[in-house]
Amino acid sequence: MRRAVDHLLQPFVTRKLDPDVLAALRMGAYQLYHLRTPPHAAVNDTVAAVPRRASGLVNAVLRKVADVDPDWPDEATQFSYPNWIWDLFLETWGSEGRASLIAMNTPERPLPRSDGYIQGQASRWVSEAVDEASPNGGTIVDLCAAPGGKATGCGPAWSRIWANEIDPTRAGLLREVVENYRPEIQVVVSDGTNSGFDSCFADAVLVDAPCSGLGALGRRSDARWQISQEAIDRLTDTQDALLEEAVRLLRPGGALTYSVCTITQKETLEVAQAFDERHQEFISLDLHGKHWRQHRNGGLVLPHDYQTDGMAIFQWQREH
């Protein structure tokens, strides 16, 4: 809620503040407005946490904030999003885009899986769809596996599961998850767009691709300030390259799953359409489950549908 909090503070701050003082004011204002903490408690606790040099300023500013009935210039400020994200959601999804953005200001509180791993509901639905597309199991490669929730969440039919990750640090975290929840999984560190697997190696490939993450801003709330609109075009290049590597790995008759925790048209429909145009040897698979909205030949969950991540999924079977 940084943008909203800064708007509350702005009328009462007339000079540039040291980072620690600004952080304290933001936390105090958040308590006052968003948590509805009683003013005496929010102000006193915040003043007690700052250096003495700033205690008078923090006390004065927060007491003024406590009396404010904010006049929001627009909803992007009120609900604390960059303008481009707010506008993109409304242009793409209308009122449902607005509902999604508001929903993502309250993070999902998922229950643990039966094995104890805590995973969002939309991610579980992706693993279920992977299983449903390949009921006979076999060998599966998860090309972008960290942190490991989808790979460890696959069903028991798979005889071999390979979890690939490009970043060594994230691969270390992936190994910890695998050891704790599915030790038979083989972890590989390689570039998912140019992996070391043999051609026609797998019965199924999951491409849970790097994306803008704009459907998961409830879980990664600071990402709204880190991602840029220009980055989406760069990400689609990577998504296309990962799908091409998946094609190389997949045997005839095998199933390919593409999923992203975003709901932009460029990273969902346009990536899937471009894949269809490049690969006539693949046919689209139907998705099961009422939780998936129809999204051209794939499925979609918007964040406000089930108070989980926004997620898009497309699945194909290789005919030859």
The single residue listed with the structure tokens 């390259």 is 241
Asked if residue 24 lies in contact with residue 50, where contact means CB atoms within 8 angstroms, the answer is: yes
In a domain, 93, yes or no: no
Q: How high is the pLDDT of residue 39?
A: 97
In a domain, 183, yes or no: yes
Single-letter code of the amino acid located at 227: I
Q: How high is the pLDDT of residue 20?
A: 95
In a domain, 11, yes or no: yes
Tally of domains within the chain: 2
Residue 156 and residue 56 in one domain? no
In a domain, 96, yes or no: no
Q: How high is the pLDDT of residue 88?
A: 98
Residue 193 and residue 301 in one domain? yes
Residue 143 and residue 56 in one domain? no
Distances (CA, A) of 253 to 15, 151, 316, 318: 65, 21, 10, 5
Q: How high is the pLDDT of residue 124?
A: 98
- Residues counted in the chain: 320
Q: Which domain holds residue 298?
A: 121-318
Q: CA nearest 165: which of 182, 150, 155? A: 150
Instruction: Please state, in angstroms and rounded to a whole number, the distance separating the CA atoms of residues 222 and 23.
Output: 15
In a domain, 299, yes or no: yes
| Residue where one domain finishes, among candidates 66, 88, 103 | 66
Q: How high is the pLDDT of residue 240?
A: 98
| Residue where one domain finishes, among candidates 66, 89, 110 | 66
In a domain, 98, yes or no: no
Q: How high is the pLDDT of residue 32?
A: 98
Q: How high is the pLDDT of residue 156?
A: 97
What are the contacts of 52-60 at 24+ separation with CB within 8 A? 54/18, 54/20, 54/21, 54/24, 57/21, 58/21, 58/24, 58/25, 58/28, 60/12
| Residue where one domain finishes, among candidates 66, 85, 101 | 66
The pLDDT tens digits along the chain (320 residues) read 999 999 999 999 989 999 999 999 999 999 999 999 999 999 999 999 999 999 999 999 999 999 999 999 999 999 999 999 999 999 999 999 999 999 999 999 999 999 999 999 999 999 999 999 999 999 999 999 999 999 999 999 999 999 999 999 999 999 999 999 999 999 999 999 999 999 999 999 999 999 999 999 999 999 999 999 999 999 999 999 999 999 999 999 999 999 999 999 999 999 999 999 999 999 999 999 999 999 999 999 999 999 999 999 999 999 98
Residues labelled catalytic = 261
Residue 177 and residue 30 in one domain? no
Q: How high is the pLDDT of residue 27?
A: 97
Q: CA nearest 171: which of 197, 201, 193, 143? A: 143
Which helix H or strand E contains 3, and what residues bound it? helix 2-9
